[in-house]
Amino acid sequence: MSIPIVRTVAELRGTIAAWRREDLKIAVVPTMGALHEGHLSLVRAALERADRVIVTLFVNPKQFNRAADLAAYPRTEHEDAARLATLGAHMLYAPDGAEMYPEGFATTVSVAGVSEGLCGANRPGHFDGVATVVAKLFLQTGADLAFFGEKDFQQLHVVRRMARDLDLPVEIVACTTVREEDGLAMSSRNVRLSANERQAAPRLAAILFEAAARLTAEADPNKVLAEARQAILFAGYSQVEYLELRADDDLSPLDAAERPARLLVAAWLGDVRLIDNVSVRPGRASSEESSPAKAA
Ligand code: PAF
Structural domain contains residue 180 = no
How many whole angstroms from 216 Cα to the centroid of ligand 1? 31
In a domain, 170, yes or no: yes
Residue closest by Cα to atom 6 of ligand 1: 31
Q: Are residues 64 and 193 in the same domain?
A: no
Separation between Cα atoms, residue 237 and residue 268, nearest integer Å: 6
- Do 65 and 201 fall within a single domain? no
- Number of Cβ within 10 Å of residue 140's Cβ equals 20
- Answer yes or no: is pLDDT of 269 > 50: yes
Q: Are 177 and 190 in contact, with CB atoms under 8 Å apart?
A: no
Q: How confident is the model at residue 287 (pLDDT cuts 50, 70, 90)?
A: very low
Catalytic residue among 39, 90, 126, 157: 39
Nearest atom of ligand 1 to the alpha carbon of 134: 9
Query: pTM of the predicted model, to two decimals?
Result: 0.95
**Same domain flag for 227 and 137:** no
For a pLDDT cut of 90, what percent of the chain falls above it? 90
Point out the domain boundary residue: 123, 154, 175.
175
Q: Please, what's the b/e burial string for 209-236 (b: 16 or more CB within 10 A of its CB; e: otherwise)?
A: bbbbbbbbeeeebeebbebbbebbeebe
Judge whether residue 178 has pLDDT over 80: yes
The residue range of the domain holding 287 is 188-294
**Position 50 in a domain:** yes
**Pair (163, 212) in one structural domain:** no
Same domain for 168 and 117:
yes
What value does the mean pLDDT of the chain take? 94
The whole-number average pLDDT for the span 100-120 is 98
CB 15 within 8 Å of CB 148: no
Beta strands in 32-127 (DSSP E): 52-57, 91-93
Q: Answer whether residue 181 is part of any domain.
A: no
Give the residue ranges of DSSP H helices in 88-152: 97-100, 119-122, 126-141
Best residue for ligand 1 mutational test, from 56, 93, 101, 133 (most atoms within 8 Å of Cβ): 133
> Do 127 and 120 contact (CB within 8 A), yes or no?
yes
How many domains does the structure of the chain reveal? 2
CA–centroid distance, 56 to ligand 1, in Å, is: 9
User: Quick one: 197 and 241 in the same domain?
Assistant: yes
Q: Of the residues 175, 208, 231, which one is the last residue of a structural domain?
A: 175
